[in-house]
Amino acid sequence: MSPWEDFGREGGLFRRLRADAAADWQAYTWHEFCRRLSDGSLPLVAFQDFLIQDYLFLIQFARAKALAVFKAESLEAMREKTASISAILAETTMHLTYCAEWGIPEAKVRATPESAETVSYTRYVIDRGLAGDILDLEVALAPCTVGYGEVALRILADPARKLQGNPYQSWIEAYGSDSYQKLAREAAARIDALGESHGGHARFPMLTATFGEAARLEQRFWQQGLDAAAS
């Protein structure tokens, strides 16, 4: 078993969702953008475009987590999700510093409008969260949180990975780190747990549609960076 097949537990909802969306999941987590992060060939402008949209993404991601607080069913869950919002909002500030290191002035990041790709995934998540319950919301969010964990593990195991002088090393390390991997594992475990408590298997047709659409929208998110470099 590859290390990235280890998220979630055997027989749990997360693995079932991942398996059912196999083609879309593969196309997302091993997208050309990811492979070129790995071999270091990704054009700088593609990465810069991605970083700016990722900043705009984080703001919407924090809003989705706020919705999760609203929908949480225990004080403990409310506390955990509130801590997530705080962490994401702190990350937006760090992200501006990171963008600056990549030559993108803060003013430019702030002035860029959200792309259709950023809007589509983030608002899809928010809509699933409002139309459905906490499980629908978490299933729409999981491709992001768990998926980035898988992307990092795939890069770390990639024979074509550029080890010396890979310009994207800091990004790879951030998502390959123990702390991020822990977050990703927890997100998959949350899906498994909600799958049990919220009838995930009975609801599988709807949930797999959500998960698959989210994976497709994440592919588009990577693709926009490549398109920016090509244009």
Instruction: By CB under 8 A, name the binding residues for a copy of itself.
Output: 59, 62-63, 66-67, 69-71, 73, 75, 78-79, 82, 85-86, 89, 92, 113-114, 116-117, 119-120, 123-124, 126-127, 130-133, 136, 196-203, 206, 213, 216-217, 220
Residue whose CB is less far from a copy of itself, 108 or 201: 201
Taking the complex as a whole, the smallest distance from the CB of residue 203 to a copy of itself amounts, in Å, to: 5
Taking the complex as a whole, the smallest distance from the CB of residue 22 to a copy of itself amounts, in Å, to: 16
Taking the complex as a whole, the smallest distance from the CB of residue 153 to a copy of itself amounts, in Å, to: 26
Backbone conformation region of residue 165, classed left if phi is above 0, alpha if psi is from -120 to 50, else beta: left
Report how far residue 6's alpha carbon sits from residue 185's, in angstroms, rounded to the nearest whole number. Answer: 9
Nearest CA to 140 out of 152, 153, 123 is that of 123
Residue whose CB is less far from a copy of itself, 3 or 199: 199
Taking the complex as a whole, the smallest distance from the CB of residue 176 to a copy of itself amounts, in Å, to: 28
Taking the complex as a whole, the smallest distance from the CB of residue 105 to a copy of itself amounts, in Å, to: 17
Residue whose CB is less far from a copy of itself, 173 or 196: 196
The alpha carbon of residue 124 and the mean position of all alpha carbons in its chain are separated, in whole angstroms, by 13
Residue whose CB is less far from a copy of itself, 105 or 199: 199
Residue whose CB is less far from a copy of itself, 169 or 223: 223
